[in-house]
Amino acid sequence: MPSDVPLYRAIEKYKKKSYDRIELLVYKGEKDRIKEFAKSRGKSLNGFITELIRKEMNSSFEQNK
């Protein structure tokens, strides 16, 4: 049975090349609450946070025109 290590390394290399990472700190228990809220909206935790940031940035941009 072939090892998944080469595949894992290729995925990590792609992510490192293609994405920036942002660390977000929340109080204990908040992550689970946010994650469940995102799930109730049909989003992943990352997708939910990213969407909120984009909406806020677009709204701010439109207000400053």
Q: List the domain boundaries for the chain.
A: 22-65
pLDDT of residue 61: 72
48 close to 37: Cβ distance less than 8 angstroms? yes
Q: What is the pLDDT of residue 55?
A: 94
pLDDT at residue 64, rounded to an integer:
74
Angle of CA points 22, 58, 19, to nearest 5°: 30
For residue 60, the model assigns a pLDDT of: 78
Mean pLDDT in residue range 27-50: 97
The Cα–Cα gap between 41 and 33 comes to 13
pTM exceeds 0.75, yes or no:
no
Q: Which residue has the higher pLDDT, 15 or 65?
A: 15
Amino acid sitting at position 6: P
DSSP-derived secondary structure for 17-36: HH---------TTHHHHHHH
Check if the beta carbon of residue 34 is closer than 8 Å to that of residue 45. yes
